[in-house]
Chain A
Amino acid sequence: MLKGRHLLDPMDFTTLEIDEVLELGGQISKNPEKFSNACQGKILATLFYEPSTRTRFSFEAAMLRLGGQVIGFSEPNSSSVAKGESIADTIRTIACYADIAVMRHPKEGAPRVAAQYSTIPVINAGDGGHQHPTQTLTDLLTIKSLKDNLSNLTIGLCGDLKFGRTVHSLIKAMSRYENNKFVLISPKELKVPDYIKKEVLQKNNIEFIEVERMEDVIERLDILYMTRVQRERFFNEEEYLRLKDSYILDKAKLKKAKEDMIVLHPLPRVNEIAVEVDEDKRAKYFEQAKYGMFVRMALIMKLLGVEVC
C-alpha cells in the first residue's frame, strides 16, 4: 500500500510496489483521458529550491492532467526561504495547504528532512548529486514500455557516472531485476563511486565492466543511457572544461549499435548526443520525457490513494 508514503530514494519501494506504479503508468500512457479527473480537488505543492524546467513541468503537467491543482515556487528567493525559513518549517506550513509535496533541493538529504516533519507525502525530485527517484521511475517505465520487460538487458551508462544521480539510481533499480548486465563507460575521473560497485553490483554478483571508449562496446548494448557532464557538480571549472565533451554520440558511432538498441538521456542534453541522432529510430529520449509525466501521474495517484475504476 503506497498511500501516505514518501518517495525519497528509489529503494524505498519494493520491486512489487514499483511494478504497481509502472503498471498504472502504462495504463495511463495508453488512455490518459480516463484519468483526467482522478485528482480533482487535490493540490500538489512544488517546492523547487533550484532551477529545473523538465522535472517541475513534468510534475505540474502530471497533476493538471489528473484534474488536480498546483501551488509552489520555482525560485527560493521568491518565497520565505529567502527570509531564512528552515525546510522543516516550510514543509509543516505547506502541509496545511496541499495534499502532496514534491521537492527539488541542491542539498543532499533535504527531502528526507522534509519527510521527517511532513504530514503529507513528500516526493524527492532530486537532491544535489544524491538521488532522483522519479527519474528512475521514468527510466523504468520507458524501458519496460519499449523493451517489454526489465530483465535480461545489457545496459550501457555513459558520461558522468560519478556525480550522475540518475545513473546511481538506475543501477540500483535495474540490479533488482534478473540477469541484467552493466557496461560503465566514463573517463577515469568520472567513474561510478566505489560504494555502488561494492554494495550494489559485486554484492549481488551482477556482471559489469568499466571502459573508457564507447566505440568498443556499443554493439553489445540493448540500452545506451547517455548523461551530461554537469557543470554545477564541479568545484573546479578547469576540470569541468577538460571533461565536458568526453563523449559525443553521433550517427557514425550508432552504426555499430543493434537495430533495436534504445538511446535514453535524462535531459537536458548539451553536447553529448549530436542533433543528427534525434532522427534515428533508436533515439527515445523525448519519448522518455513523456513517460516521465505518465509515471509521475501514477505515483501521485498511488501516494494519494486515488483510484479510477
Chain B
Amino acid sequence: MLTVNSIKNGVVIDHIKAGLGIKIFKMLELDKIESAVCLLMNVSSEKLGKKDIIKIENVVDLDFRILGILDPNITINVIKDEVLVEKKKFELPERVENVLSCKNPRCVTSIEKYIDHVFYLVDKEKGEYRCMYCDEIYALSEV
C-alpha cells in the first residue's frame, strides 16, 4: 500500500472527487511552486468511495476560493506544527474568472480568444452562475 507521510506545516486539500485532483493541481499552478507537493489519486474514502488528496508543505496562502466551483465538498485543512489548526469549507464566490467556460455557441466567448470568461453568482442555493456576456445560466451540477 502506498504511504505518504503527514506534513508538519502546510495545507491538505481533502475530499476531492476522484479524478478532479489533477485539474485542481493545474488550476492552482502547483507545478510552479518550490515547496514539496503531493497529489494522491484514488485514495479509499468512507464518504466518497474514492477521493483525491493534495498535500502542500509550508504553503498556506494560496487562493483556494475557486475550488468551491469544482466541488463544494472539498475541505482545506491548515496544519501547523503537525496540528490541524483550521478546517475551511467553501462559500461560492460572487464572481469567477476563467474557471468556467460558456457553453452557449452564440456567446462571444466562442470567437473572441483573448477575453476573460467571467461568471456571476445568481443563485447561491442552486449554485447557479450567469455568463457576463450572454447571460446564459449554469448550474454547478452540470459543470
Given known pairs A106-B106, A107-B106, A128-B106, the reply for A88 and B134 (CB within 8 Å) is: no
Total interface residues on A, using CB and 8 Å?
17
Q: Does B109 contact A (CB under 8 A)?
A: yes
Q: Does B2 contact A (CB under 8 A)?
A: no
Please, which residues of chain B bring their CB within 8 A of the CB of A130? Answer: 106, 134-135
Q: Does A112 contact B (CB under 8 A)?
A: yes
Majority SS of interface residues in chain A? mixed
Q: Pick the contact of A112: B104, B114, B133, B137 (CB < 8 A).
A: B133
Total interface residues on B, using CB and 8 Å?
17
* Contact, CB under 8 Å: B106 / A87: no
Please, which residues of chain B bring their CB within 8 A of the CB of A109? Answer: 107-109, 131-134
Q: Does B115 contact A (CB under 8 A)?
A: yes
Q: Which residues 23-69 in B have Cβ within 8 Å of A in the complex?
A: none
Per-residue contact bits, chain B 87-126, to A (CB 8 Å; 1 contact, 0 not): 0000000000000000010111111111100000000000
Across the A-B interface, how many residue pairs have beta carbons closer than 8 Å? 50
Q: Does A187 contact B (CB under 8 A)?
A: no
Identify which of B104, B109, B134 gathers the most chain A CB atoms within 10 Å of its CB.
Answer: B134
Please, which residues of chain A bring their CB within 8 A of the CB of B111? Answer: 107
Report the minimal beta-carbon distance from B101 to chain A, rounded to whole angstroms: 13
Identify which of A86, A88, A106, A107 gathers the most chain B CB atoms within 10 Å of its CB.
Answer: A107
Identify which of B106, B109, B112, B135 gathers the most chain A CB atoms within 10 Å of its CB.
Answer: B106
Q: Which residue of B lies closest to A106 (CB)?
A: B106
Report the minimal beta-carbon distance from B132 to chain A, rounded to whole angstroms: 7
Cα distance, A206 to B114, chains bound together (Å):
41
Q: Which residue of A lies closest to B115 (CB)?
A: A113
Cα distance, A110 to B133, chains bound together (Å):
7
* Contact, CB under 8 Å: A108 / B107: yes
Report the minimal beta-carbon distance from A106 to chain B, rounded to whole angstroms: 7
Q: Lowest 10 A-B CB distances belong to which pairs?
A: A109-B133, A108-B134, A109-B108, A107-B108, A110-B108, A128-B106, A109-B134, A108-B106, A108-B107, A112-B133
Given contact pairs A107-B108, A109-B108, A112-B108, enumerate 10 new A-B contacts (beta carbons under 8 Å).
Answer: A87-B108, A88-B112, A107-B106, A108-B108, A109-B132, A113-B133, A116-B115, A128-B134, A129-B106, A195-B135
